[in-house]
Amino acid sequence: MKKALIIIFGSLVCLVIAIVVLVGVMQKNLEKLTTQEIGDVNITEVPDGTYRGEYSVFPVIVKVDVTVASGAITEIIIVEHQNGQGGPAEVITGQVVSGQTLDLDLIAGATYSSKVILLAIENALVEQNPS
């Protein structure tokens, strides 16, 4: 019985340590995200087509398809968006299309997700990988 309690206690200690390390890594990644700059992409120079962009910062992962026609972004489809509570950030794609810019205010309450979405869009326009 005493041996079983020691094993259970040891397992709980290991679990707590793992959670603390995971939270620390996640917080460090998100702090880095706040200083990440979003580049100024000249959309008029992007060839017509649909391009896949991805960006991830644990715990947020985003994949988008960005369609460009005649020097303008005509559509942005979020292919994948894994987030904590950042679902409301997805409205930022409509703001990018209507404003034709990535220089937007982040969505309050979903700042990390909206930043990652913008960085995925930037990646699509810069890398121009067909979807």
pLDDT at 48 over 80: yes
Cα–Cα distance measured from residue 121 to residue 77, given in angstroms and rounded to the nearest whole number: 10
The pTM is what? 0.80
- Name the band, by pLDDT with cuts 50, 70 and 90, for residue 85: low
Q: What value does the mean pLDDT take over residues 106-125?
A: 92
What is the number of other CB atoms lying within 10 angstroms of the CB of residue 122?
21
Q: Are 100 and 76 in contact (CB under 8 A)?
A: no
Which residue is associated with the tokens 């994949």? 63
Strand partners, 65: 52, 77
The CA-atom distances, in angstroms, between 103 and each of 39, 70, 92, 131 are: 9, 20, 11, 24
Q: Are 110 and 38 in contact (CB under 8 A)?
A: no
**What would the pLDDT profile of 51-77 be if each residue is shown by its tens digit?**
999 999 888 899 999 999 999 999 999
